[in-house]
Structure 1
Amino acid sequence: MGFSSEVGIDLGTANVLVYIKGKGVVLNEPSVVAINQDNNEILAVGEQARQMLGRTPANIVAVRPLRDGVISDYDVTERMLKYFIKKTCGNSRFFRPRIMVCVPSGVTEVEKRAVREAATQAGGKDVYLMEEPIAAAIGAGLDISKPDGVLVIDIGGGTTDIAVISLGGIVASSSVKIAGDKFDEYIVKYMRKVHKLYIGERTAEELKMTIGTAYQREEPLSMECRGRDLVSGLPKSIEVSSAEMMEALEEPLQTIAEAVHSVLERTPPELAADISNSGIVITGGGALLYGIDKRIQDRTGIEVRIAEDPKSCVAIGTGEALDSIEFMETNQLNRKRSNF
């Protein structure tokens, strides 16, 4: 058998992470592509393209080809994947890696096929798909092969995946289209409504990362925020507090807490007992929002911890799962058979 590297890809709405066996996470860049509309040429991918969001001349568009965890622009996704695979694996015609790509737990067969085809077109030899919560659990260092229940909440850019996992499979799960991107949208809405200030996505993200909060802070923070005054139409800057951020994010956080609650309600009693002992693990970029663990702990009464490197968990889990493809496949088959 020829040389075949193994690559795990976390194809996220906000970021794409690439994990290469033996090297770890080798790439973590925003899922943004800048295209020149005149000749359909790709000008920049990843971080360079993100810098252009909301700042491009008329003939250049910076697009995010994934929305809510699924492919919304197939052609651009394929070109973006090709670029990232070439960047991390080199550019040899004969070199086709085995690729394991992550998808949210609620995606349809059509969406799965789109991901599989995009990865194959981008240069994958064998392409496998894996559900995000399972990858997140493996990446967070949990042993999912045992008959003990673990509850993982993966808060990404487009979706929040909540799943109870036992014996390598998902027992009860929920996927809500509320995550990092929606947090930004709610911050934009709040600033318009309360301060009559129009801000862009990047400014909202900066507010979220700097002073965003899901639980009362002991010491309130504040930050200067610049945007356009909706009344005068001129640039304006105001001071925003972390308490206001908590108010802005109240609704999406409430939705996530409700979804966790509903998954726990559907969990078999034996596994629910395991979870109340082992606790809940949060992964994904959203885990970095201040106090989100305390917020969910308050709601469920179960101890919540944040995984060690929450942003990379899915990518690491995806890469590590390539070692146990046989185990994963038997599980998938058994699950399909039990569905008939």
Structure 2
Amino acid sequence: MGFTEEVGIDLGTANVLVYIKGKGVVLNEPSVVAINRDTNEILAVGEEARQMLGRTPSNIIAVRPLRDGVISDYDVTERMLKYFIKKTCGSGRFFKPRIMVCVPSGVTEVEKRAVREAATQAGGKAVYLMEEPVAAAIGAGLDISKPDGVMIIDIGGGTTDVAVISLGGIVTSTSVKVAGDKFDESIIKYMRKEHKLYIGERTAEEMKMTIGTAYPREEVVVKECRGRDLVTGLPKSIEITSKEMMEALDEPLQVICEVAHGVLERTPPELSADISNSGIVITGGGALLHGIDKRIEERTGIKVTIAEDPKSCVAIGTGKALNSIDAIENNQMNKRRSYI
């Protein structure tokens, strides 16, 4: 395979997406790694490892090395990145790729350095970081170079980033650690409390995707849910409605709506006027939750639209930003020169 010069990576808490210049999104797999505890050897990465979550014998662990949008296990993240880069770029590479990685808007310098080092160790020649809301806006097809303000809500697995962008930069933003994972946790908590039923992460995620809702549905949907009865300790299955799901998801959704409201409150009046005309755009996997646009619209009073292919927006935006990587490089060189 020929060398790949530029790679964009959406290093998500739930999924890793890889974009290769000229090819588009070539990989979309869960950020899960299965490791043999005894030998420290990686047994599976991505979808194969996700199948093992909550189902492994004692000597094998399936881990998610990223939590709340940041690296929680550096060594495993590095090995996972190495695996994905090798899988998409081929192993017989003579040239190392330039990599653009996305990070949530609220990450600290220490967390940024961890991401940069992991990507470099995994085989990057030069590593650049980009803030998720900016990448999401580019990927959603918004023109962020104009002075008009655009507002983006990127609901991922670990974090929700809310930002107002104008002239290519973030004007106001907030990043909260309430997103897809918290939705799953809320469903698990609700099932324990209301039905005395203990369910796993995968079951909760499946319920969220099939009957989860953020706004009353016209027709109530029902799904069978299987888990362990906390009273008898035996397997049990019950029917759950989308109405109950709305109740279960109410708390994290309220947090996201309040964050969006808070960002709007801090937005300069000129940009607020632009946003009330153009509306708010939602990206990320969380945008697929039924009725989330209506819920945010109700709280903010502004028209909300869901981006096309919301899950891939950040990766596509990162890929598009690779086109201006030379400009970014020159900019950084000039900055360094001005310090000397």
For normalisation by structure 1, the TM-score amounts to 0.96
The Cα of 1:329 is off from its aligned counterpart by: 6.2
The Cα of 1:92 is off from its aligned counterpart by: 2.2
Q: Does 1:59 align with 2:59?
A: yes
Cα distance in 1, alignment partners of residues 47 and 77 from structure 2:
15
Counterpart in the other structure of 1:48:
48
Q: Does 1:252 align with 2:252?
A: yes
8 Å CA contact 1:119–1:127 kept in 2: the answer is yes
Tell which deviates more after alignment, 324-333 or 46-55.
324-333
Identity, % of aligned pairs? Answer: 84
Q: Supply the RMSD in Å over aligned alpha carbons.
A: 1.7
From the superposition, tell whether residues 218 and 162 of structure 1 become closer, same or farther in structure 2 (CA, over 3 Å).
same
Task: Show the 5 A alignment for 1:135-150.
Answer: 135-150=135-150
Cα distance in 1, alignment partners of residues 331 and 177 from structure 2:
27
Counterpart in the other structure of 2:199:
199
Task: Show the 5 A alignment for 1:1-340.
Answer: 4-328=4-328
Cα distance in 2, alignment partners of residues 110 and 212 from structure 1:
36
The Cα of 1:94 is off from its aligned counterpart by: 1.9
The Cα of 1:3 is off from its aligned counterpart by: 5.3
SS of residue matched to 2:51: helix
SS of residue matched to 1:233: coil
Unpaired stretches in structure 1, ≥5 consecutive residues: none
AA partner of residue 121 (structure 1) = Q
Deviations 1:293-321 (A, max 9, x none): 00000001100000001000000000110
Deviations 1:130-160 (A, max 9, x none): 0000000000000000001000000000000
AA partner of residue 204 (structure 1) = A
8 Å CA contact 1:213–1:246 kept in 2: the answer is yes
AA partner of residue 26 (structure 2) = V
The Cα of 1:330 is off from its aligned counterpart by: 7.7
Deviations 1:206-254 (A, max 9, x none): 0000000000000010100000000000000000000000000000000
For normalisation by structure 2, the TM-score amounts to 0.96
Deviations 1:155-209 (A, max 9, x none): 0000000000000000000000000000000000000000000000000000000
The Cα of 1:328 is off from its aligned counterpart by: 4.9
8 Å CA contact 1:284–1:314 kept in 2: the answer is yes
8 Å CA contact 1:144–1:165 kept in 2: the answer is yes
AA partner of residue 236 (structure 1) = K
8 Å CA contact 2:214–2:295 kept in 1: the answer is yes
Cα distance in 2, alignment partners of residues 181 and 200 from structure 1:
12
From the superposition, tell whether residues 176 and 332 of structure 1 become closer, same or farther in structure 2 (CA, over 3 Å).
farther
8 Å CA contact 2:187–2:248 kept in 1: the answer is yes
Unpaired stretches in structure 2, ≥5 consecutive residues: none
8 Å CA contact 1:13–1:70 kept in 2: the answer is yes
AA partner of residue 110 (structure 2) = V
The Cα of 1:273 is off from its aligned counterpart by: 0.3
The Cα of 1:95 is off from its aligned counterpart by: 2.4
AA partner of residue 258 (structure 2) = E
